[in-house]
Structure 1
Amino acid sequence: MWLMFLFSNSLYASPVAYPVNYTPAELLTALLSGAYDANQKSVKWSATAGDIHEFNGQLGEQNVLYSFIDTTIIINREGEKIYYTIFHTSPMVVNEEGEFVNPNNCHVCGVNLGYFSFIIENDSIYIQKFKRNFATHGSFGEKSYDLSMINLGNGYDLLKVDDPYEGMGTASVATRFYQDGELMLSMISKENNLGNRAKNQKGYYEFKTEYAYNNKAQTITVKQTGYRIDEQSGKRISTSKIKKLNLDNYTLQFQ
């Protein structure tokens, strides 16, 4: 009976209330049970062997990871403010030059993104959702992406990540939309082959993407425009296409 009482009581335990003056960094420090490093502006936290594997770290005498705040974005939902804090985590080390760097610094090596959302009520902060690792973005072991939050209405808030990449003679931007840390859509939103050809050379191409959001119908209209220079004739040929994406509970679908 006593064990049953304890178990039942834990199911309905009150959510943790944090002081209203806590910064996002202080909240992240509490969530990760870590310690804030003011010099590096990061949260240092102890990692298990599983954590080290998950975040591409290296096992050593001190198994630690470092998390950095990227930004906090505010969404207004039916008169209530929802705060989204996005952060990234890396297995940082001090290199031979004394620099604090990510040892995973290859061209396609990124950082692990996480997020938490919170509200403020009665002079206290309450965490709503927390996911410490939902995607990998960036390049050369560093942050190179842009973040924005899209309010599609009806409670659908999407994190948009624009991640640039250059290599193999092309320059591109991969755009991904996430809802609560789950991938909803992934696409190349911008690309050209300037690395191989000049803009007026045969075979050159480029395109870009514009998004229009409808928060009443929960749709995203995607418009891609660009041009290519024909390999044979050298003539410039314009391209344009429009598609509408409909949001359901699982993904963004083309209509």
Structure 2
Amino acid sequence: MRRTLHLTTLVLLACLTLSISAFAGDNMITPTLESVEAVYQGKPISIYRGHDRDATLPEIFQKTDRGCPPFCVQPIVAIEGVETIGELEVLGYLKRIAQGESNIMVVDSRTPDWVMRGTIPGSVNVPWNKISRDSAGTFETPSEADTFDHILEDEFGADRNAETGEWDFSEAKTLVLFCNGIWCPQSTANLKTLVGIGYPTYKLKWYRGGMQDWVSVGLTTVQP
């Protein structure tokens, strides 16, 4: 009887200790991952999860009724062959970039007004309307086409044959695109544009959850 009571007491104490340590300790990303080192605007930055247990979503991400179209729920697969990824995979790409892999880019597809409210450390802002074409597959003005070509060459690492006009993506970067969340069509539009001109699908990744999911789990954000 005494032994049973003793064992019961030990179990209760162990549970209480675990409970207290869970609240008192660090808010880990995973059981074995506390933080990820990234580089943002040339400076190192650590990505953690927030430690405020009373934290809530920013007001801009609390709204649920946004109107469809254009803010329709996006499919789990944006384009066949383009991998849909989550937060841990994004963190993995950010870590690789910080370690010197220059053939990867995490792309914030949102317009600058959204980016100024907070973005993922290590991402680069390439607004969706700078590279998305109209329904006919063209740009409205020559300047838009020039901007698109500039982004493909100088930002994404593609090369265009001056004689044939054809794009060579053999040295192009792997792009990880995201926008505001599963209701945001901006990164999806960019994926369609890029695949439409021949960008290899295996070099395109889509973080479907976007900023809304990122902040919902308390991961670090930065304001440019």
Tell me the TM-score normalised to structure 1 length.
Answer: 0.25
More helix by share: 2
**How high is the TM-score relative to the length of structure 2?**
0.27
